[in-house]
Chain A
Amino acid sequence: MTKPLYVARSRRIAARKLGEEMLVMSAHGSTLFTLNPTAAILWQAADGATPLEEIVESKICSEYEVSPEEALRDAESLAQDLAKHGILLISEKPIAESSARNEGRL
């Protein structure tokens, strides 16, 4: 059995839903990202306390016709991608709010 993954929104970003799209701006390099609907669901639910698997089941599988295994695989890949850009944190342990706030301050 694999360890659960936890995801949290980085505090070094600014984000806002405009129309149907979620815009996220990273403080690092002022890079702007537009999240697609699935990424936006994942990003909004990333509270650091809910395992990614649970987020996928409750928020993504309920919205889209996709198997939990496939959805989780996609979500993990997406989370890694967002983490690479510094707008999401990933950990095998729950992520405290202070960690998200203090991570890599400019």
Chain B
Amino acid sequence: MPELATQVETYSAAIAIGGFTVRLNTTDADFFEVLQARYAGFVSNEPSAAFELDIDLCPPECATSNPDVRVTFRSGNWIMQRGDFRAEWSPAAGRGRIRQTATAYSTDSMLRIVHTLLLAKSGGFLMHAASVIRNRKAFLFAGESGAGKTTISSLAPADATLLTDEISYVRNLDDRYLAFGTPFIGDLGQAGENASAPVAALYLLAKGLSNSIEPVGAAEAGRAVLANMLFFAEDAEMVRLVFQAACEFVDRVPVLRLTFVPDARVWELIR
């Protein structure tokens, strides 16, 4: 009797970021190695994961160059799509599936979206900002491209722990904000440490002729936080949650303008 079915081996890696573990499943051994290398330092040995995503690889021709991300909620599922991937994720079931080409870039983008959705319900968020732990406190550095996120990260002293030079991960836990390390890589080309600490301040970066820290008004702080938050979903409820999260963060965390000369002395102000 000939074999009618072939058992396909599934490779599985649990990626724990910010305390949320997402298990990624693939049947492609080579791509599994890519994922393990990409998320080294964030791979968890926990057998159970609250969220599971199956990765279906497709040939390079299945991707388009459309760079726009669309995230919509339909019939209980989040639909996430960009030219290089299409994913569906059921928050109720904690399961999802992504069809993508064999590049970790697509998986990375989808993970960022999933985490923004997970965080929004509890007042947390992802933000275009570098973050660093020093003296057991986390400091966030936000600014548009070229403002100095990578520069300030690369100037951090030896006693500082880099959480990310690209995407900061902020959770609202037990009435305090914690920043977590992420594997999301920026221009520094270095994943963050898998560590966390209470957020002591958010600095809005500006390069200048001297180092100084100035207070920022609440409305300006709110606008800056919202402008730097990662947010994709076209959904009224999610917009409300994100807006509330930004306002609460501004109420409880000092937001300051850090003007700095790009050399290590700026870190004398950040302790």
Contacts and interface: CB of A to CB of B under 8 A. Distances in A.
B218 A30 contact: no
A20 B221 CA distance: 12
Say whether chain A's binding surface is mostly helix, strand, loop, or mixed: strand
Interface string B69-106: 00000000000000000000000000000000000000
A27 B247 contact: no
A99 interface: no
Contacts of B154: none
Contacts of B199: none
Contacts of A78: none
B235 interface: yes
Nearest to A24: B243
Contact of A105 (B219, B221, B236, B244): B236
A34 B223 contact: yes
B29 interface: no
Interface string B234-269: 111001101110010010000000000000000000
Contact of B231 (A14, A20, A30, A106): A30
B217 interface: yes
A14 B244 contact: yes
A32 B236 CA distance: 13
Interface string B199-237: 000000000000000000111011100110001001110
B221 A16 contact: no
A20 B244 CA distance: 17
Contact of A18 (B222, B227, B236): B222
A21 B217 CA distance: 10
A71 interface: no
B219 A30 contact: no
Given A25-B226, A32-B226, A18 B239 contact: no
Contacts of B234: 106
B222 A30 contact: no
**Most chain A beta carbons < 10 A, residue from B221, B226, B231, B243:** B243
B243 A25 contact: yes
Given A19-B219, A34-B219, A14 B239 contact: yes
Contacts of A12: 236
B222 A16 contact: yes
A102 to B, nearest CB: 12
Nearest to A20: B219
B240 A16 contact: no
Nearest to B236: A27
A23 interface: yes
A26 B219 CA distance: 16
A105 B237 CA distance: 11
B269 to A, nearest CB: 24
Interface of A: 12, 14, 16, 18-21, 23, 25-27, 30, 32, 34, 105-106
* 3 shortest interchain CB distances as A-B pairs: A19-B218, A21-B219, A27-B236
